[in-house]
Amino acid sequence: MTEPRMLPERVALVTGASRGLGSTLAQFLARQGYSVIVNARATQALGQSAAEIARAGVPVFSVPGDVADESTRATLYDVAAKLGRLDLLVNNASELGPSPLRNLSELRAEDFERVLRVNVLAPLALTQRLLPLVRSVRGRVVNISSDAAVGGYPGWGAYGASKAALDLVSLTLAHELKGSGVSVVSVDPGDMRTAMHQAAFPGEDISDRPLPEITLPFWAWLLNQDPERVSGHRFRAQSDRWEVPDP
């Protein structure tokens, strides 16, 4: 882990940043001038991702570990606290569940519990811990959702239920933090060609799915919106256009 040395102007933290959407988004944020804290369970893959992110010429701080573990969340807080601020927290780390996917009628309780622990409890716990740093700069919290949260797709029950719960957590936090300057949104990035999506369809060809880079226009749009105006909304990153309804 790189030690923070200078207080940066903007800091982002992205979990699940060793590959896929997390790595793509972290690289995008680095190109926008954010110092970036990245986290994932796979130490080697995270190191490779961090090296790619650092090519943008910004400080990158790599924190390997399972975000579902309190010790990992404590380390993430320590790094952000040394940097003195947190402008953007992206809760992207997710657990799919067993592969191949299993129907709810066949799913073991311990597998369901693991999905809920990573996809719901961990993002909330990390947000709670980091909230003072986010609040101090009127920052943003982004929780990564899924179309499975509203689809009821066979085999996706545990993952979908966890993302539906995360959507409600996001909305509730947005209401609770209204007026504090902290923005909370949830984002469905849509189907993408990622390792997680491949794990959901083992042995199948998913080359027709777009790469995570397809979402970059959305992130550029979101980061240019008034944080308070978008707070409490759920966005689909692969929509043709994005709008914020009038209050």
Tell me the per-residue pLDDT of 50-73, one tens digit each, with 9 for 90 and over: 999 999 999 999 999 999 999 999
Give a yes or no: residue 231 inside a domain: yes
Mean pLDDT of the chain: 92
CA–CA separation, 208 vs 192, rounded Å? 9
Please count the other Cβ atoms lying within 10 Å of the Cβ belonging to residue 214.
17
Give a yes or no: residue 46 inside a domain: yes
Q: What is the dihedral of CA 37, 39, 43, 47, to 10 degrees?
A: -30
Give a yes or no: residue 152 inside a domain: yes
DSSP bridge partners of 184: 141
Specify whether 159 is catalytic: yes
The count of structural domains within the chain is 1
Average pLDDT over residues 72-100: 96
Helix (H, G, I), strand (E, B) or coil at 186: strand
Give a yes or no: residue 64 inside a domain: yes
| pLDDT bucket at 199, cuts 50 / 70 / 90 | low
DSSP 48-74: HHHHHHHTTSS-EEEEES-TTSHHHHH
pLDDT digits (tens, 9 = 90+) for 124-168: 999 999 999 999 999 999 999 999 999 999 998 999 999 999 999
Burial class (CB in 10 A: 0-12, 13-18, 19+), 157: buried
CATH assignment of the domain containing 41: 3.40.50.720
pLDDT of residue 203: 72
Give a yes or no: residue 92 inside a domain: yes
Active-site residue, from 34, 77, 153, 159:
159
The DSSP secondary-structure symbol of 200 reads: H
CA–CA separation, 110 vs 115, rounded Å? 9
Where does 49-144 show beta strands of DSSP type E? 60-64, 88-91, 140-144
Residue 35: its H or E element: strand 35-40
Domain that holds residue 19: 11-236
Q: Is the pLDDT of residue 244 over 90?
A: no
